[in-house]
Chains A and B, each alone.
Chain A
């Protein structure tokens, strides 16, 4: 369970650094965010939701059945878009309206 941060997209705003419940994300000398200990990530996705620059992708470790897919998160007002990409496969986007409650 872990995340990847694309340094080209990261503007060093620090939102993910603040949000991580395990204080796992740090900033390097250029102010770019990096995950210090990938095997300590809980997979809560807080960092993903806080990053307004879509610099963070979320993936499943191979030890929990990951297949190399990457998930991103985008906010559009009350809509949250979860975008799942996997090489050689169609991209899947699931949109959740944050004002509507879970059906289950």
Chain B
């Protein structure tokens, strides 16, 4: 029999990553009596994007620069699809968030005057290898924060219109968890694994974004009818071939340029936005001038050693590759490629449609970090800033939410807890979660602009993809699980299919090509001013509605009107 455990809390945080942990810290500091509950699928010590370590603080207002300049940079990079209020409110908190990280123990490089040393216009230099253990240590200092590790949330509980808790299950035991809360913050990160990845074989999880961030947070919101924005602004990253390690460290750090196989520098031809850079390598290769490289040959050996160390601090596979192959950056240019598309609101604008205070369109539900939309170029400090803002809003709103009894929460969760039990007991069906995941990734790759088709799609293909993903989602309803590990995979598949469905509606909604490096809508291959707007969606009784909203340039405060 599946055991059922219950928790009653004030503030529930789903996902103990960067944004979730910081929201807990801020809430606990401001109100020591508040009960804060983090529920995390792995262990907050090394979960999510920060697990391997990070390279730099990518979002910082360096000496002499302003938050407005950061906004204009983000607007240029996103080809205008951006919310001023969201970017400015996070940018105002970048520097204080970084200082707080330093107080917690993060090593940040300083000059003789004690100022942080910048890398380019917006970055500061750190040793980010242990950034997640540092943040989780801080979380543990507060007695009013409870941490439930190794529990995966599958659904929100909703009483009438208001979100009042969540339900999930342990990844180690046959135990369901039903949590009643007065307010819920979703901070589960973005979605990887929607498309067939660069390395589809044995190393299929050697991808840039954490393969364990399966888009749960988006799916949670989609199910309760939360409005989503800009999923069509998929993120295709330019990364080092095979290890999918970041390229910025080489490009910014040692000034290496992108060159094609003929040795020609091509980047300027495609524009220097993130999308433009991703476009460059794809186009050069498809036109027969591949592969593409970062030109590192000639680098002196002392700098080579520093590169090895920098990669060990965030992407150790790359240093291992350099050393064991003997193909060092000073003697061999570093081959690059574009990744499969991700949906990730920390880099692009995809995610929940939130107000300035980080409220979603559903009462009682808040969003922060990669799961929240409208504010690209968020990175670590932006995720912290959003967690901070959301926590402050929750503290303000909490008085308006009365607690839901455990008995009521159990009743609301009953269908789900029964479903877990059913899947664990049912005999294996024809397919398992892994097989359906392969099917889903293939459909998305071929019909919805994945790597194999050069990120191109057309109306016909999107319609086919939609039908096929629908079939896979139906098959997923029948999936059983041999153990709790497989049960996790079943719900990841269901979440990913839900995200894919919404993504397809967004791709179909934006009938133009705005970010050619992220995707080309072959029927509408040019940018169209008529699409200087947000493409949003909402799930209404199982049907996805598309909502077009105007850009709000210059608007620094926004509240939902419903």
**Binary CB contact string for chain A from 92 to 104 against chain B (1 if under 8 A, 0 otherwise):** 1010101111111
- Cβ of B426 under 8 Å from chain A: no
Docked complex Cα distance between A99 and B126 (Å)? 9
In the complex, residue of chain A having the shortest beta-carbon distance to the beta carbon of B17: A21
CB interface residues, B 301-323, toward A, < 8 Å: 303, 305-310, 312-313, 316-317, 319-321, 323
Q: Could you tell me if A19 and B45 are in contact, using CB atoms closer than 8 angstroms?
A: yes
B202 CB contact (under 8 Å) in A20, A63, A101: A63
Query: Within the assembled complex, what's the spacing in Å between the Cα atoms of A50 and B130?
Result: 11
Cβ 8 A contact of B206, one of A19, A64, A92: A64
Q: Measured between alpha carbons, how far is A54 from B212 in the docked complex, in Å?
A: 25
Complex CA–CA separation, A99 to B455 (angstroms): 42
Question: By DSSP majority rule, is chain A's interface helix, strand, loop, or mixed?
Answer: loop
State the CA gap A39–B197 with chains docked (Å).
13
Let me know if A39 and B202 touch, CB within 8 A: yes
Interface of B, helix, strand, loop or mixed by DSSP: mixed
Contact of A42 among B51, B172, B307 (CB under 8 A): B51
Partner of A61, one of B201, B305, B309: B201
In the complex, B115 has a CB within 8 A of chain A: no
Q: Is the CB of B306 within 8 A of A104?
A: yes
- B52, A46: Cβ atoms closer than 8 Å: yes
Query: Known interface pairs A65-B325, A94-B319, A98-B107. Does A23 touch B171 (Cβ–Cβ under 8 Å)?
Result: yes
Instruction: Give bound CA distance, A84 to B323, whole Å.
Output: 8
Task: Give the chain A neighbours of B253 by CB distance below 8 A.
Answer: 103-104
Contact residues in A for B306 (Cβ distance below 8 Å): 102-104
A36 touches B51 (CB 8 A): no
Measured CB to CB, the closest approach of chain B to A88, in angstroms, equals: 11
* A40 to B212 Cα, complex, angstroms: 9
Collect the chain A residues with CB atoms within 8 Å of residue B250's CB: 104
Q: How far is the CA of A103 from the CA of B300 in the complex (A)?
A: 14
| Interface residues of B, count at CB 8 A | 63
Find chain A residues with CB under 8 A from B519 CB: none
Whether A40 lies near B202 (C-beta < 8 A) is no
* Binary flags per residue of B316-340, CB closer than 8 Å to A gives 1, else 0: 1101110111000000000000000
For A19, what are the chain B residues with a Cβ–Cβ distance below 8 Å? 43, 45-46
Contact residues of B with A, CB < 8 Å? Answer: 41-43, 45-48, 51-52, 55-56, 107-109, 117, 119, 125-130, 149-150, 171-172, 199, 201-207, 210-212, 242-243, 249-250, 252-254, 303, 305-310, 312-313, 316-317, 319-321, 323-325, 485, 488
A sample of 21 inter-chain contacts (CB < 8 A) reads A1-B205, A2-B202, A18-B43, A21-B212, A23-B41, A23-B488, A40-B205, A42-B210, A43-B52, A60-B203, A61-B202, A64-B317, A65-B325, A69-B320, A80-B129, A86-B324, A96-B313, A98-B127, A103-B303, A103-B309, A104-B307
Which A residues contact B (CB, under 8 angstroms)?
1-2, 18-23, 36-46, 48, 50, 58-69, 71, 80, 82, 84, 86, 89, 92, 94, 96, 98-104
